[in-house]
Structures are given as C-alpha cells and as structure tokens.
Chain A
C-alpha cells in the first residue's frame, strides 16, 4: 500500500515541477475555450447555449494532450521497467499512476471551469452542473486514455496515433457528460439519469483501464 502511495506522490511531484507539464493542460483548455467565440461569433446567448459542449470538448482535448506523458517519461528513464518488474501488481500500479495523473492534470481543469464559465456567459447552476459532470467524467477519460497511452508507449509512437485510438473510446463519456449538463440547465430530462450513467462509465473504466493497460505493457515491453 505504501508503495502505491509513494508512486502517487512521486508522479504528482514530477508532474507539478518544472518540466512536468501538467499545468499546460489547463493553459490549453483556456486557449481552446477562448478560441470558440472567435469561431462562432461573440453572441452571448449562443455561447451560453453552447457553453457546456465547448467546455466538455476543451476538457476532452486537454486531457488527451497530457495523456502522452503518462508512461513516456517513465519509459525513457527506465523507471517503467522497474514498475513492471516490482512486486506490486502492475494493474494496481497502473491505477495509481492514472489516479496521480488525474489529480495533477484533471483536477485543475475542473477548478478552472468556473472562470471559463464566466467567459462563456454561463450562470451559476450551469457552471456548477458542468463542473460536477467534469468531476464525474474526467476520471473515465483518464482511465480509458491510459489504455491508449500504454499501447502508444509500447509501440514507441505517441501523438496522433494515441488520439486516433483514444477518441472513439471517449465518445460515450462526451455524450452523457454534455447530456447531463444540458439536462441541468434546460432539458426536460432529469439531471440524475445521464449523470448516473456518466458515473457508471467512470466506474467501469476504473476497472477495465488498469487491466488493459497492464496487459499491453506486459506484452509489449521488451
């Protein structure tokens, strides 16, 4: 247990220090959100209608951008081999790494959401709804994205291949995340229905992600 805690602490510390690049995700999130009004025009009514979708897309792309770092740095300096060979089960180690990655790269996105909500003319309930759905949904993005990151690191290919592999898997999360936010703001549907499906997606990916990532690391690293 202490090994996992040490792993989580180490990953968070590396991510937050110089060269860690966790906060680049937030900067990217901010930039994407600011780009949207230039594309659709500065119509405040339209922006507040599109707001949840824009925020969700931005968060999805931002989390995709930082996923590359989940295994690459450890693979380059060799610590990934030590993690694979250690006595801690690789599935648990993968889950710990993903959790650390989510704390360092995912949580800042959610903290930044209220500020970006202001830019998009979202009112208090809407901002709260988007933040709540992001809080419930971004773990699913990290844990399914981890599968793609593990595949990419074993193949020595990152970047675009990672995006092509991960994006189709993240479509359900996007659908139910935006649906839940829209339901809270205007929709006839109750907020609870899509929100509980979103939580279910997160929990399922929490189980599947570490196993698939560990399998691909075990079979792929040489």
Chain B
C-alpha cells in the first residue's frame, strides 16, 4: 500500500472506513488518560491550578503549526505531483487548523489574564499566531470563492506555500525577540526544563490531540470526497432533466444521449 494506491478515492474511502473507528477509539482513550493525568497533576508552586491550562493550550498551539505543515505538503502534492487527493486533504485541513489556532489563542488569553494580568498583549508570538489565524481564514475564503475545486486547489496551494514562511517565524519568535511569552521549554537543546509531573500529561495530551487531528482530518476528507460525488451526480441529473425537456420540444436531440457533466 503506497501513496499512489491511495490516489483512487474509492480505495481511500474503503481503507479509511476500516481505520477510522480504531483511530477514534484510540483517540478517545488517550484523551481520557491525558485529561485524567492533567487533572491529577500537582499545582505549580507559582501559578497554582492555572498551570493546567497548559495541557490544553500547548497541544493546540503545536497543532496550529503542524496543520499548516500538513497543508504545505498537500500543496506540494497538488502543484508538483498532481496527487488527486492532495487538494482534498488541503481543503479538509484548513477549518480544523483554524479551530486549533482559535483554541490556542483563546486558552492562551484565558491563561494570560491571571498570569500576565492581561487577556491580550501585542507580543511577537501572540501576533504571529494571530496572523496565522487570519491566514487560515483567508485560505478558507479562497476555497469558498471559487466553484471549480481544481482551480481553487491550485490557487490555495500557492497561498499555502507562501504562508508557510510564517511557521518558522512563529516557532522562533520567542527566541529571536525577548518578549512576554516564555521561550520553548519542552523541545529544546539540553533537554526539557519541565518537571516530569507536568511533562508526561503534556506529552500524552499532545499525542491525543495529534490523533484527534488525524481522525478529524480523515473524516473530513471522506466527507469532501462524498460531497464532490454528490455534486457531480446532481450536475448529471440536472443535465439529464435539461436535455430531456429539450428532447420533448424536438430540438438538439443528438445531445440527449451524452450528458456533459458526466465526469
């Protein structure tokens, strides 16, 4: 089973139909474990119970960038390899990524209120994540602005790759500019600075959220494929009705046997 085998949407649908229930089950179990561990984690000596926001905030923030990465790979798939499912993947990922980014912003602002004394600060990382959110919305607007999916896919792919420049800026903004948001503390040279009592629940939550994304993404891709099939069936039906009524009046009889939108 390679990536080219999946180019056939029917095979993809059959495969994901088998995988999805398992994936959803594992996600639910891991989320339950992660939430339990997060609830049981000790309070921070300085931040008290608010430190538990981290277990939701950090996975969301990671995924907000990871989803754009997935979309960039899909964009390359659209432009370079012309993989038939690449634009489906890119289109399905955008709303999910926007939701993760929005949740990262909201949880971050709820965490910032007790800790920094403000819901919002025009800090480098906060600003760049906000720009990422705006770009997700712009990408969704682009998808919605055009009827022809393959034309929209190529335009969205170019925009996704241009927007990918923002991802390293977000990642390293806290290291380049000395700002209010703390620098990276989990994935860094010289090991994590986080205590094990916090690190384990965080890692479990990160894996659970990643699986959640994969589950939602595959389900959204299935929906998108089915939506396109329904659309083309509707077009065929509309064609048939249009032509059969023309046949009734006796004009253009030769076209009735070959509806245009059959592909």
Known pairs A147-B159, A161-B141, A165-B142; A219 contacts B154 (CB<8 A): yes
Which residues of B, 117-154, contact A by the 8 Å Cβ criterion?
A: 127, 131, 134-135, 137-138, 141-142, 145-146, 151-152, 154
A18 at interface by CB-CB < 8 Å: no
B98 to chain A, nearest CB (A): 13
Q: A169 and B162: CB pair below 8 A?
A: yes
Q: Whole-angstrom distance from the CB of A193 to the nearest CB of chain B? A: 11
**Cβ of B141 and Cβ of A164 under 8 Å apart?**
yes
Report Cα–Cα, A169/B169, bound state, in Å: 13
Chain B 154-179: CB-based contact to A (< 8 A → 1; otherwise 0): 11011101110100010000000000
A168 and B154 within 8 A (CB): no
- Chief secondary structure at chain A's binding surface: helix
Q: Give the chain B neighbours of A151 by CB distance below 8 A.
A: 142, 155, 158-159
Contact B145 A155 (CB under 8 A): yes
In the bound complex, do residue B155 and residue A220 qualify as a contact, i.e. CB atoms below 8 Å apart? Answer: yes
Tell me whether A208 and B146 are in contact (CB under 8 A). Answer: no
**A168 x B138 contact (CB < 8 A):** yes
Which B residues touch A167, using CB under 8 A?
134
Q: Is A157 an interface position by the 8 A CB rule? A: yes
Output the least CB separation between A40 and chain B (Å). Answer: 20
B54 within 8 A of A: no
A220: chain B residues at CB < 8 Å are 151, 154-155
In the complex formed, the residue of A with least CB distance to B133 is A168
**Quick check: is B28 within 8 A (CB to CB) of the other chain?**
no
Given contacts A165-B138, A165-B142, A208-B165, contact A155 B151 (CB under 8 A): yes
In this complex, which of A151, A154, A172 has the most chain B Cβ atoms within 10 angstroms of its Cβ? A151
List, in ascending order, chain A residues with CB within 8 A of B158's CB: 147, 150-151, 212, 215-216, 219
Q: Are B155 and A155 in contact (CB under 8 A)?
A: yes
Q: Which residues on the A side are within 8 Å of B162 (C-beta)?
A: 144, 147, 169, 208, 212
In the assembled complex, the Cα of A151 lies from the Cα of B152 at a distance in Å of 9
Q: Which of A150, A169, A219 contacts B79 (CB 8 A)?
A: A219
Query: What number of B residues sit within 8 Å (CB to CB) of A?
Result: 23
Q: Is the CB of B145 within 8 A of A161?
A: yes
Bitwise, A141-160 to B at CB < 8 A (1) or not (0) is: 00010010011001101000
Q: In whole angstroms, how far apart are the Cα atoms of A169 and B162 in the complex?
A: 9
The answer for the CA separation of A147 and B161 in the assembled complex, in Å, is: 11
Contact of A215 among B79, B138, B152 (CB under 8 A): B79
> In the assembly, what is the distance between CA of A157 and CA of B157, in Å?
17
Q: Say whether A6 faces chain B, with CB atoms less than 8 Å apart.
A: no
CB interface residues, A 164-190, toward B, < 8 Å: 164-165, 167-169, 171-172, 175
> Is the interface on chain A under 10, 10 to 19, 20 to 34, or 35 or more residues?
20 to 34
- Chain A residues lying within 8 Å of B169, measured Cβ to Cβ, are 172
> Which of A154, A169, A220 has its CB near the most chain B CB atoms (within 10 A)?
A169
Partner pick for B131 among A147, A171, A219, CB 8 A cutoff: A171
A155 touches B152 (CB 8 A): yes
Query: B127 — which chain A residues lie within 8 A by C-beta?
Result: 171, 175
> Measured between alpha carbons, how far is A165 from B136 in the docked complex, in Å?
10
Contact string against A for B residues 1-31, beta-carbon threshold 8 Å, 1 for contact and 0 otherwise: 0000000000000000000000000000000
B216-253 CB contact bits vs A (8 Å, 1 = yes)?
A: 00000000000000000000000000000000000000
Whether A164 and B138, one on each chain, are in contact in the complex, defined by CB atoms closer than 8 angstroms, is yes
Beta-carbon nearest neighbor of A155 in chain B: B146
Residue numbers in B under 8 Å from A169 (CB-CB)? 135, 162-163
Q: Which residues of B contact A165 (CB under 8 A)?
A: 138, 141-142, 159
Q: Nearest CB to that of A154 among chain B residues?
A: B155
Residues of B within 8 A of A215 (CB): 79, 158
Instruction: Write the nearest CB–CB distance from B168 to chain A, whole angstroms.
Output: 13
CB-CB nearest in chain A for B148: A155
Chain B min CB distance to A168 (Å):
4
Shortest CB-to-CB span from B15 to chain A, Å, is 29
Task: Report the separation of the CA atoms of residues A167 and B135 in the bound assembly, to the nearest whole angstrom.
Answer: 9
Q: How far is the CB of B162 from chain A (nearest CB, A)?
A: 5
Residues of chain A within 8 A (CB-CB) of B79 are 215, 219
Residues of A within 8 A of B131 (CB): 168, 171
Instruction: Jot down 11 A-B pairs with beta carbons below 8 A, ordered by A.
Output: A147-B162, A151-B158, A161-B142, A165-B138, A165-B142, A167-B134, A168-B135, A168-B163, A169-B163, A171-B131, A212-B161
Minimum-distance CB pairs A-B, first 4: A219-B154, A216-B158, A168-B134, A151-B155
